Structure 1
């Protein structure tokens, strides 16, 4: 699973690179990303709070410091704050930003506080499973990918997830978090680049 600790088994082993995914039609070009790491408006957004963290690593296991990590996603109802999202059956949430950016620390770590997104209709009869988009820009490369959730009913029919060479590296399994908001969850999603 993607939320398991990633480490090479020997000094010559290479970590598997995180598979790329599409940028998607809802990249929030018209929004200013929050730089606080909190997409929830101080906990006011609707839905299950999700503490999302991980590391950006090179395939030799070394942390990638100073990498720019962007995330964007649908809200808890399955709606993006984007003019191209015409899913009016799902409500917008004025307290949810939906777009954030941070930089990794010296150990390659990043962290966000967000909400768990919902699946949404992508076309008649076709749904996208719940996911969070990532764009990682490091010194030598950029990777666009998506993080999915274990047990989502639409995972097995999603063409983008199933196009990945190692879709298991994109699926996470959130766990309850103690000492935070009632019902809050946490998940770790490590991303492996080739060089960093």
Structure 2
């Protein structure tokens, strides 16, 4: 009941005359809500694993922490993620890395790393909620989606193309610091290497 109420409140705020700062804040809140709803559905669909719910809810942070511990990442920054994506494209991450991840978790988390689940939340901001104006091609969200779609059209991480790097670079640094904006890249990395 709480989630639908939040959506209604966000819609009311969105329908009022807002400045850019407020629109961005509402877009962030709506994106987080959308990704939380989609991810909670994944968790519930994945089925119960006794004592592992906390792992399931924090799977992206756990993967990111292992990437840091194994020195595939040295810090959480856009540049480090660019370097990580290039390592993935060049098959520089050993498959044993993901076997270790699965062993640490005690289960196979493949279903918790969906393809495009978080990308659809951008469309949600444009199409359903109309918080962002899709005719405004200057927003970072619009540019991100265009580059991400190009990345998918030109072979994902199977070919070296810079579209995923271009998409990543569209995300403002202040946004990239939030895990919700890094999840899509962690999903890609897991899906490619696993």
What range is the shorter-chain TM-score in?
Answer: under 0.3
Could you state the TM-score of these two structures normalised by the residue count of structure 2? 0.26
Write 1 or 2 for the structure with the bigger share of helix: 2
Could you state the TM-score of these two structures normalised by the residue count of structure 1? 0.25
Write 1 or 2 for the structure with the bigger share of strand: 1
Larger radius of gyration, structure 1 or 2? 2
